[in-house]
């Protein structure tokens, strides 16, 4: 009897969990700015050649401290990602390692040496502190822009790993109004 009761409870919980997956979602208005999510997800939009070219141009112009070595994504366990609020976008990621570097030293260097003609969204430089294990530095093409590059710097055993998240708005991109109104924070500011 005990086994049967446990089985009934387990099946009931599984059925409830699966029922939640089938619950219809509220319809979303197609009016630009009426919701808090991009109108189209980047992967659903197809490729926008001009936006892709812009993202690649920013990647090619990426300016990193001397000693930076281009790497694959397995170099560090990056656990946060930039939430680009507008969409659709063309997005590229790139990774580097910099031996014998510190997080704050690399972040300060990036702030002082912008990529291409982009504007930093980061605050002022901070004193070098080996205890800091991660930071991010954003760059945008113009004030209030929601595209550009966000560099995330993470401490590793022998220096730092750097991830660049690069996003360029497509021609059909829409920037929704944030929940509760207001304005979106600049890329790279958390």
pLDDT value for 97: 96
| Letter string b/e over residues 128-146, b meaning 16 or more CB atoms within 10 A of that residue's CB | eeeebebbbbbbbbeeebb
User: Collapsing DSSP states into helix, strand and coil, what is residue 113?
Assistant: coil
Cis status, amide bond into 22, omega within 30 of 0: no
pLDDT value for 190: 65
Distance, CA of 41 to CA of 13 (rounded, Å): 32
Identify the segments of the chain with pLDDT beneath 50: 1-45
Full-model pTM: 0.73
Nearest to 116 by CA among 37, 169, 78, 63: 63
pLDDT value for 154: 95
């Amino acid at each position: 009897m005990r086994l049967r009761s446990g089985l009934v409870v387990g099946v009931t919980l599984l059925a409830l969990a699966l029922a939640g997956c089938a619950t219809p979602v509220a319809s979303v208005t197609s009016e630009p700015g009426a919701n808090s999510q991009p109108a189209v997800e980047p992967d659903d939009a197809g490729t926008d050649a001009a936006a892709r070219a812009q993202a690649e141009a920013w990647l090619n112009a990426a300016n990193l401290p001397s000693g930076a070595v281009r790497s694959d994504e397995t170099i560090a366990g990056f656990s946060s990602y930039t939430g680009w609020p507008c969409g659709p976008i063309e997005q590229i990621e790139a990774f580097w390692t910099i031996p014998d570097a510190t997080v704050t030293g690399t972040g300060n260097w990036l702030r002082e040496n912008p990529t291409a003609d982009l504007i930093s969204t980061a605050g002022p430089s901070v004193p070098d502190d080996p205890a800091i294990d991660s930071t991010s530095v954003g760059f945008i093409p113009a004030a209030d822009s929601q595209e550009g590059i966000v560099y995330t710097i993470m401490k590793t055993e022998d220096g730092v790993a750097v991830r660049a998240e690069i996003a360029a708005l497509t021609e059909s991109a829409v920037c929704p109004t944030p929940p509760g109104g207001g304005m979106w924070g600049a890329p790279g500011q958390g």
